[in-house]
Amino acid sequence: METKKYEIYNYWKDKAITKNFEVKLWEACTTDDEAVKITDFPDEIFCWACEALPYVTADSDNIKTLWNHDHFLDRAHIFAKSKGGEDTPSNLFLLCPNCHVEAPDTTNLQNFYAWVYYKRRFDNWVLTCKKEFEKAANIKRADVEELYKRWERLSLNLDTVEALRGQMAEKCALHGSAISMSSKMMSFIDILLELTEE
């Protein structure tokens, strides 16, 4: 039987990865560890490497239900399954499909943890979105600075962000098994221009 996502979450929820690529309890970490907490947002579904959020989650306030009914994240093996890695919570990490493809297939756990640490610090979803947003603006020959000014004019809260994500999802189609970042960013620019039309 497949390990449930909630079991994986429950194992990792109080852990962190240090700058030396060691796993420690979050509460035992010091500032010298420069640790990243694995579940920064304990009541939210998100990729534990890039921190991308799903477009749709289960309609529930129960954390166990949310994790077990998630269709966004993959169960990724830390110690590669093809090399004997087990299907146990301690050897599974919850990653978005893009990160799952990118993650190292390894027998050296520190390589996996080093990759996660790097993703969280230097290649996370927010930084990727910014880079892809600017790329999409250049493709569309839109003024990036003007788009940022329009973005600032929006009154954003959790509800408006969810509404924007829903509009983006409606405008995009699957490319293979995922929605491409170019589709997301170009549709977001279209929505941003519509919402802030002068």
Every domain of the chain and the residues it spans: 5-122, 125-195
Grouping H, G, I as helix, E, B as strand and the rest as coil, residue 153 is helix
> Tens digit of pLDDT for each residue in 91-109?
999 999 889 999 999 999 9
- How many Cβ atoms sit within 10 Å of the Cβ of residue 185? 24
Q: Compute, in degrees rounded to 10, the torsion defined by CA atoms 56, 62, 65, 66.
A: 30
> Tens digit of pLDDT for each residue in 156-197?
776 777 788 788 878 888 766 667 788 888 998 999 898 888
> Which amino acid makes up residue 67?
W
Alpha-carbon span 60 to 146, nearest angstrom: 38
pTM: 0.75
